Amino acid sequence: MYRMSKKEKNLFLIAIIFVGCAILYRTTLLPAIGNSAALNRQIQLKRRMIKDSLGFLNQKENIQKESRKYANYAKQKLSEEEETASFLKEIEDIAKKAQLQLIDLKPYSAKRKDFCIEYRIEIETESDMNQLITFIHNLQSSDSLLRVVKFRISPKVDKLDILKTNLTITKVFVSD
């Protein structure tokens, strides 16, 4: 066998230590550093999510106040027939307040759309222009989600200062 000199033994020992360190670096330290970087990215992501959530929590009171403001629009408290009757009464009350003469009221069945329920009523009226404008203004400014979707107006044959009007009015509830 070959006998190594002291210098060769030292070089061999240094080479073994170097190879051992390289193996240790590759098998332990490098994966640990990679995991650390991945964990740091996850930590940053979680911090951003927490920061966003804290922003929502800081605005919780404002959000709740706004949701209470619109809560009446989100719930249908009555059956379809009761809601239609309530809608008719609301239209009659607004017409009475505007001193508008209702000739005919035709309710239609409720229609479910994407996220809401729409009630529709077609009305025929006779009035002067001021009464009609007051009626439409009161409709649009009511607490319910009322809207005029169709409007046809013509002068009455025997009285030109009186207007004959056909309106289609909708009331919307936001559904779950």
pLDDT in tens, 134-175: 999 999 888 888 889 999 998 877 877 888 999 999 988 776
How far is the C-alpha of 125 from the C-alpha of 106, rounded, in Å? 12
User: Quick check: 75 pLDDT over 80?
Assistant: no
Residues in contact with 73: Cβ distance below 8 Å, sequence separation at least 6, in sequence order: 145, 172, 173, 174
pLDDT tens digits, residue range 14-54? 999 999 988 888 888 878 787 888 888 999 999 999 888 88
Instruction: State how far the alpha carbon of 105 is from the alpha carbons of 69, 158, 167, in Å.
Output: 30, 23, 10
Note whether 157 and 119 are within 8 A (CB): no
Q: Which CATH superfamily is domain 76-174 in?
A: Ribosomal protein S6/Translation elongation factor EF1B (3.30.70.60)
